């Protein structure tokens, strides 16, 4: 009898723990989705029926007259922000109250999760200050010859493939190109992924973001029991492989820069050296701010290289391949892009260069328009770091409430974009891209925690697209789907089910 009483008490405590916050939005008068035990609002995400961005987008459209919508990620309250002014407040003006990305519940996590995108507070500030110089115009320009070499390999590889079969999977092609760039610019390695679809580097990149059922279970456990998140490490095998790779490379370079101007070279300048910043977490006396210090050790170094590798791979591969897809089904736009590329390349004797890429204005508009229609990240997340009151809507939230910015929905809202389904690069002409659009366009985030590598991502993506479109015209293949389905397992970076098959035809360049 006592045994059953203990079981009943355990079940009650477990039920109470998982439902204790389910009246959070009701008591605050915020419209919200009714949460489900253990799963909160995101049941379909945990069973891999929808990704998180899709669920957030549904809630955005379900409550069209609300400035905010309530939700729950397992037991954690979330607030989906629909109002552009509130978004600006969160990302920029009230950044000290929302500096946390919300990926980790503390900075005491697995090695590879201690990277710039996921960690918070003082450690984030020190790393951001230390890594920002790696992405200056001068450093990017020095990297560009490495990108040009990969563009030439992309052209040669595509030409060989087209000779066998002019239908290619643009997603796979641009994945291989992106991995070649990351191997060269990040690691000083020739990954040979353009010639070998089974290359180890390419498979590693795909495995990192592949959401398996085991990873989904670990994700749920982390959300249910956030203070035990370090125990639910679903990346042990990848962590071992990656740490081994990084240690091998830095030993080869004798723990110091070797003159390659790649990311590891730039980061080696700081290895085992102290980082220092003004604390975000500790308050001084008002006159003397608190200073914090930390050493950039090998593990912290490896985590930054890891995010350069994983985030750079999937985002650029996704955005460039979808740009090609949209150009294939909009041939008139493609002709304008090719004219722009040809005109600039003629000025630079037919060669890609850092300067020539900067002048391909219409190509850049087309790429940004593709990112509007299909942003690599379908949402942004922040977490409140203290009790905060939204005065405009008379709402007070507690510390550690998740804030969701629904990028995909904002990018496709006709309130801000005329005929949002239409692929129209001219939206990004300075005369058309006004304050209204700037306030809802976030492909690289916004505010102090925007994407530090956005300029590198834009540069390598523009170069890859210019290399392809200067030599080939892309057309829909018989199996091309005009509106490809989003993979419901792609919770961090959105990806497509079934790839993006296109016909590649070699072209003769001309400028009229």
The Cβ of residue 198 has, within 10 Å, a number of other Cβ atoms equal to: 7
Sign of the dihedral through C-alpha 483, 48, 225, 493: negative
Determine how β-strand 402-405 pairs with β-strand 380-383.
antiparallel
Distance in angstroms (rounded) separating the CA atoms of residues 453 and 370: 18
DSSP 390-423: EGGGTEEE-TT-EEEE-HHHHHT-TTTSSSTTS-
**3-state class of 73 per DSSP?**
strand
What are the structure tokens assigned to 274, written together? 């102290």
Q: Cα(146)–Cα(166) distance, rounded to whole angstroms?
A: 28
Q: How many CB atoms lie within 10 A of CB 377?
A: 23
Query: For residues 232 and 219, what is the distance between their CA atoms, to the nearest angstrom?
Result: 8
Q: How far is CA 92 from the centre of its chain?
A: 19
Q: Which residue has the tokens 């300029």?
A: 455
- d(CA 91, CA 69) in angstroms, rounded, equals 17
Flag whether 258 is marked binding. no
Per the CB < 8 A criterion, the answer to whether 508 and 229 are in contact is no
Beta bridge partners of 496: 486
In the numeric block, which tokens belong to residue 114? 């201690």
**Alpha-carbon distances of 184 from 188, 192, 354, 426, 438, rounded to whole Å:** 4, 10, 16, 34, 33
Distance between CA atoms of residues 23 and 33, nearest Å: 11
What span, in angstroms and rounded, lies between the C-alpha atoms of 323 and 374? 9
Contact 351, 467 (CB under 8 A): no
Instruction: Work out the number of other CB atoms within 10 angstroms of the CB of residue 445.
Output: 18
Please name every residue paired with 77 in a beta bridge, in sequence order, or none if there are none. Answer: 72
Residue with tokens 């201690």: 114
Nearest alpha carbon to residue 184 among 215, 149, 210: 149
Tally Cβ neighbours within 10 Å of residue 476.
Answer: 16
Count of residues making up the chain: 512
Please give the sequence-ordered ranges of beta strands (E in DSSP) within 161-217, or none if there are none.
Answer: 167-169
Burial of 48 (0-12, 13-18, 19+ CB in 10 A): middle
CB 451 within 8 A of CB 312: no
**Residue ranges of the binding site:** 451
Binding residues for heme: 451
């Amino acid at each position: 009898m006592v045994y059953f009483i203990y079981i009943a008490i355990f079940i009650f405590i477990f039920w109470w723990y998982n439902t204790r916050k389910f009246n959070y939005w009701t008591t605050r008068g915020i419209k919200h989705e009714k949460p489900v035990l253990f799963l909160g609002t995101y049941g379909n995400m945990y069973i891999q029926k929808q990704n998180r961005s899709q669920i957030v987008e549904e809630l955005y459209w379900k409550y069209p007259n609300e400035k905010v919508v309530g939700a729950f990620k397992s037991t954690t309250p979330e607030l989906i922000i629909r109002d552009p002014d509130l978004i600006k407040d969160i990302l920029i003006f009230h950044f000290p109250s929302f500096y946390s990305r919300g990926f980790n519940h503390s900075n005491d996590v697995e090695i590879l999760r201690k990277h710039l995108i996921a960690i918070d507070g003082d450690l984030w500030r020190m790393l951001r200050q230390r890594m920002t110089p790696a992405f200056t115009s001068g450093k990017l320009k020095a990297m560009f010859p490495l990108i040009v070499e990969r563009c030439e390999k992309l052209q040669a590889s595509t030409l060989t493939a087209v000779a066998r079969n002019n239908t290619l999977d643009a997603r796979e092609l641009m994945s291989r190109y992106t991995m070649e760039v990351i191997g060269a610019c990040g690691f000083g390695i020739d990954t040979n992924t353009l010639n070998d679809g089974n290359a180890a580097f390419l498979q590693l990149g795909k495995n990192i973001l592949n959401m398996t059922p085991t990873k989904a279970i670990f994700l749920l456990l982390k959300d249910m029991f956030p203070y035990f998140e370090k125990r639910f490490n679903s990346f042990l095998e990848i962590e071992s492989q990656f740490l081994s790779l990084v240690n091998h490379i830095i030993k080869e370079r004798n723990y110091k820069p070797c003159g390659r101007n790649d990311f590891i070279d730039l980061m080696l300048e700081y290895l085992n050296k102290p980082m220092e910043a003004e604390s975000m977490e500790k308050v001084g006396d008002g006159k003397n701010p608190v200073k914090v210090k930390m050493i950039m050790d090998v593990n912290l170094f490896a985590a930054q290289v890891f995010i350069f590798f994983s985030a750079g791979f999937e985002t650029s591969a996704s955005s460039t391949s979808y740009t090609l897809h949209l150009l294939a089904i909009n041939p008139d736009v493609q002709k304008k892009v090719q004219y722009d590329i040809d005109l600039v390349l003629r000025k630079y004797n037919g060669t890609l260069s850092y300067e020539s890429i900067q002048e391909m204005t219409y190509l850049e508009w087309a790429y940004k328009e593709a990112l509007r229609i299909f942003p690599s990240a379908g949402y942004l997340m922040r977490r409140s770091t203290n009790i905060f009151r939204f005065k405009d809507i008379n709402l007070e939230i507690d510390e550690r409430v998740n804030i969701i910015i629904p990028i995909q929905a904002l990018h496709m809202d006709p309130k801000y974009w005329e005929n949002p389904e239409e692929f129209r690069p001219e939206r990004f002409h300075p005369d058309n891209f006004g304050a209204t659009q700037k306030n809802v366009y976030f492909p690289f985030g916004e505010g102090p925690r925007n994407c530090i590598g956005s300029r590198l991502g834009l540069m390598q993506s523009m170069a890859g697209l210019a290399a392809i479109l200067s030599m080939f015209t892309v057309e829909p293949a018989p199996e091309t789907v005009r509106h490809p389905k989003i993979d419901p397992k792609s919770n961090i970076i959105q990806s497509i089910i079934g790839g993006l098959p296109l016909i590649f035809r070699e072209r003769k360049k001309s400028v009229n």
